Structure 1
C-alpha cells in the first residue's frame, strides 16, 4: 500500500544530526532536516543549523512556517488562524491596488482597521471559532469605542476575508454576513453654501494674507466651478486645460500612501475620468494664471517648488482659512492669551498635550480665528496657573470677544462642502441626478442624491399639482 503523501504546505518529521565535531568530541553545530511538500506538489528538503539541537529545530520550524505562509495559495481550514486569513485577504487587495482596480487610500484605511481593531480582537481565533455571535460582539465593541464609521470599515474587511474563506473551503457560510448592520444616528442633511456665503468666502480668502500665500482663492474658485475633489484639483496639469473651449480633463488625483510618498495616480474609478465644461468666471481665473506661460506638464496649482501639493496640507490650510480672523476683540484676546502662555514658558505643543487638544486649536485661539467661550478660555488660563475671574481685564476681554462676528458664518465649511455646493447649484438649475453624478465623478447616483445635493424647501408647485389631480374631491 503506497505511503500517504504529505498535505500541501506541510512537512514531515524533523531529524537532527551533528555536523562538525570539535577536537574534544563536543559538537560545534547541529543540522535539522525535514521534507516539505511545496504548493506545486513537489517534496523538497529543507534544512537549518544551530549551536544546539533545540536551536536547530527552532530555526527549521521558523523556516518551514515562513515557507508555508509565503507560498500559500490554496486550501484553508477551520484550524487556520484568522490572522492567516487576514494576511491572505490583504495580499489579494494589494494585488487589486497594483492592478489599479482599487485605490491605495482604501488599502491604507483597511490596514489601519486591521492593525488597530481586527487583529487585536480576533486575530488569534481559529477561522472556525469566528462565529457570527463573536463577530457581532467585536463589531459592537468597535462601534462603542471607535465610532460607527470605523465599525462599518471593520465589518467590510472581515466580511471580505470570510468570503475568501468560503471560496477556499474553510467554512461553508460567511458568518460576517449575518452580523447586525452598524446602526448610527442619521447624518445631518447635505448643506451647501448660499450665494451670500460664497460671496463672503471669496471676500474673506482674498483678504487673508495666509490664504493668498497658500493659493487658496483660485483653488476654491476652481473647485466651485467644477465640483472636483481636492486631490483631483491638485492633479490637474496645464495640458489638460483648454482655455478656448473652457474645459478641463480630470484623469488623476494626488494621494500619499504610507511608505510611497506623494503620487499622482488615476482616479478611483472609470467614472472619475471625465471632461468638464467650466463656467466663464472659472475659465477667466485660469486664463489669468496662464499669463506666466507655464509648461504643459506643470501643475495648475503647484506647491512652492513647482511640484504637486499635498492634499492633507492643503486641507489644513483651508481649514485655517475657513476659520477667518474674527473681530478686533478676538484678536486682542488672542494676543493676551499668547502673552500669558509665553510668560509661563510653554510652547503651543506643550499646552495642547496638557489639555488633550489639537495643537492647531491653540494657534486658532491666539490668532482670533475661533469664537471663544467661557469654558474654553477658562481651561486654557488654568493651564497657565491663572483663574479667569481673578482679573477683570481678561474677563471683560472675553465677554467682548464672545459677541457674534460675520466670520462666524464660515466656520462650518470644509473642503467637501464646495462639492456639495456645486451639486446643489446644478440640482436647482434642473440637472438630473445622473448628470450631477457624472459632473462629480461618482458611479452611484444614490450617493449623489443622499450625500451631496442639499435638501430644498417644500416644493411650491406641489399644491398646484395636487389641485389639478384632485379637483374638488368629495371626501365626505
Structure 2
C-alpha cells in the first residue's frame, strides 16, 4: 500500500549529515502549497544548529514561483507593486489614488515598510491600526483599506495563503452628533462674512471679493458639496426657465502635477442631479452674471487668472471669517447638513437624500439630519401610573 502524501505545508523526518569541520546539513521533504513535494535543506555549525535553521526555513517556506512577490518581499516593495497595478488598471479615481498614496507615505511606510510580508502578523497590523485610530480614526480606516488591498495582492500572487488584515479588529469611528444651523446661527454666519469682506483701512493685499458670501448662499440653496458648487459652469444653469434650475454634473479635485481640475462626474451616480433653485439663489447668480467677465472655463467662480477656485482656499477664507464670530464648529459641510435637516423637517428624508445626491436615505438620516431620538408612543401604558380616582387625596 502506497504511503499517504504529506499534508500541505508539512514536512517529513529531518536527516542530518556532516559536511566538514564545523559544517552540518539538515534535510527534509516538504509538501509545498502547490501540492508538490520537494527536498529542502539548511546548514549550520552543528547538527542541532542545522536543524534549527531548517525548521525556520520550512516555517517560512513559500511555493517556488516566478512572481516578484514572496513571503520575503518587503512591504515597501509590495506597496510599490500594488500602486503600479492600481494605476495600470485604473481601479480608482485619481483623488482616491492620491488619498491612498498619502496614507502610504505618512502612515504605512514609516511604520511597516521595512517588514517582510511574513512578518506582518495579524497582531502587529492590529496594533498599528489601533495606534492610528486613537488619534485619527478616519486615517486608520484609510490605512486598513490600503493594507487590505495590498495583502490581497500578495494572496493572489501566492506569497501568503490568507490576508492578515481581515482578522484585525474592527475600527470604530466615534459617532458625532449632527449639527445644523439655526436661524440665529445663519444670521451670525452672514454677519461674519460681511465683516470679513468689508475693506479694512491700511490693510495690504488683494481686496476680498464677494465670492465667499455667494458660495455659502449657493451651498445653502442647493445642499451641494463645496467642490460641486465651485465646479458650476454657466452652462449648468437655466436661470430663464419658469422654475430656474442648476445641474450638478461635476466636482473639483486636486491632481498632482496638474493642480485643481474639474472632474466631469460627481462623487456617485446619484450625485448627478438637477435642482430647482430658490429665488435668493437666482438673485445671487443673476448679479454675478451681470458682473462676470469672459471665462475660458465657463466657471461661475473663477480666479483672477481664469482658473478654478480651489476648495481649500475657500475653506481657509471661511475659517478666517468665522474666527471672531464664535462659529468655530461650523464647516462647509455644516451648510449641507442644515439643508438636509430643514428638508427632512418640512418634507421627508427621501426628498433630502435626493437634494443632496445620496443613493441611500439611510446615509442622509444617519449623518446629515439633526433631530432628537423619538421614543415610541407608550402614553396609554404610562396612564396606569396616574391618579386613578384615589379617594384618599380627596378633600
Aligned to 2:246, what secondary structure does the other structure show?
A: strand
CA distance in 2, matches of 1:273, 1:175: 38
Partner residue in 2 for 1:376: none
CA distance in 1, matches of 2:322, 2:288: 23
Q: Is contact 2:238–2:244 with CA below 8 Å preserved after alignment? A: yes
CA distance in 1, matches of 2:316, 2:299: 20
Q: Is contact 1:235–1:264 with CA below 8 Å preserved after alignment? A: yes
CA distance in 1, matches of 2:313, 2:210: 10
Q: Name stretches of at least 5 consecutive residues in structure 1 with no aligned partner.
A: 1-72, 324-368, 370-406
Note closer, same or farther for the CA distance 1:455–1:472 as it changes in structure 2 (3 Å cut). Answer: closer
Note closer, same or farther for the CA distance 1:196–1:237 as it changes in structure 2 (3 Å cut). Answer: same
Partner residue in 2 for 1:156: 145
Partner residue in 1 for 2:175: 187
Residues 1:264 and 2:181 are matched in the alignment? no
CA distance in 1, matches of 2:286, 2:254: 29
Give the TM-score, by structure 1 length: 0.59
Q: Please, which of 410, 413, 433 is the counterpart of residue 330 of structure 2?
A: 413
What is the CA-CA distance between 1:472 and the residue it aligns to? 6.4
RMSD between aligned alpha carbons?
2.9
Note closer, same or farther for the CA distance 1:292–1:104 as it changes in structure 2 (3 Å cut). Answer: same
For residues 289-319 of structure 1, what are the alpha-carbon distances to aligned partners after superposition, in whole Å with 9 as ceiling and x for unaligned? Answer: 2224655852111222332111111110111
Note closer, same or farther for the CA distance 1:276–1:121 as it changes in structure 2 (3 Å cut). Answer: same
Q: Is contact 1:216–1:318 with CA below 8 Å preserved after alignment? A: yes
Q: Please, which of 190, 200, 206 is the counterpart of residue 202 of structure 1?
A: 190
Q: Is contact 2:224–2:356 with CA below 8 Å preserved after alignment? A: yes
Residues 1:177 and 2:166 are matched in the alignment? yes
Note closer, same or farther for the CA distance 1:137–1:455 as it changes in structure 2 (3 Å cut). Answer: same
Partner residue in 2 for 1:313: 313
For residues 173-195 of structure 1, what are the alpha-carbon distances to aligned partners after superposition, in whole Å with 9 as ceiling and x for unaligned? Answer: 111011012245x2330101001
Q: Please, which of 70, 74, 82 is the counterpart of residue 77 of structure 1?
A: 70
Q: Is contact 1:75–1:169 with CA below 8 Å preserved after alignment? A: no
Q: Is contact 1:240–1:248 with CA below 8 Å preserved after alignment? A: yes
Q: Please, which of 348, 368, 383 is the counterpart of residue 431 of structure 1?
A: 348
Partner residue in 2 for 1:282: 281
Q: Is contact 1:234–1:308 with CA below 8 Å preserved after alignment? A: yes
Query: Which stretch of the first structure deviates more once superposed, 303-312 or 293-302?
Result: 293-302
For residues 267-300 of structure 1, what are the alpha-carbon distances to aligned partners after superposition, in whole Å with 9 as ceiling and x for unaligned? Answer: 2232222211221221222122222465585211
Q: Is contact 1:236–1:299 with CA below 8 Å preserved after alignment? A: yes
Q: Name stretches of at least 5 consecutive residues in structure 2 with no aligned partner.
A: 1-65, 200-207, 387-395
Residues 1:136 and 2:136 are matched in the alignment? no
CA distance in 2, matches of 1:221, 1:436: 18
What is the CA-CA distance between 1:219 and the residue it aligns to? 0.9
CA distance in 2, matches of 1:178, 1:207: 53
What is the CA-CA distance between 1:473 and the residue it aligns to? 7.3
What is the CA-CA distance between 1:210 and the residue it aligns to? 5.3
What is the CA-CA distance between 1:249 and the residue it aligns to? 1.1
Instruction: Write the mapping of 1:96-115 to structure 2, written as runs, cut at 5 A.
Output: 99=90, 102-115=92-105
CA distance in 2, matches of 1:446, 1:88: 37
Instruction: Write the mapping of 1:430-449 to structure 2, written as runs, cut at 5 A.
Output: 430-432=347-349, 434-449=350-365
Aligned to 1:173, what secondary structure does the other structure show?
A: coil
CA distance in 2, matches of 1:295, 1:249: 21
Give the TM-score, by structure 2 length: 0.71
Q: Is contact 2:344–2:351 with CA below 8 Å preserved after alignment? A: no
CA distance in 1, matches of 2:132, 2:338: 33
CA distance in 1, matches of 2:175, 2:98: 25
Q: Please, which of 78, 82, 90 is the counterpart of residue 89 of structure 1?
A: 82
Q: Is contact 2:76–2:113 with CA below 8 Å preserved after alignment? A: yes
Aligned to 2:275, what secondary structure does the other structure show?
A: strand
What is the CA-CA distance between 1:214 and the residue it aligns to? 5.1
Q: Is contact 1:113–1:150 with CA below 8 Å preserved after alignment? A: yes
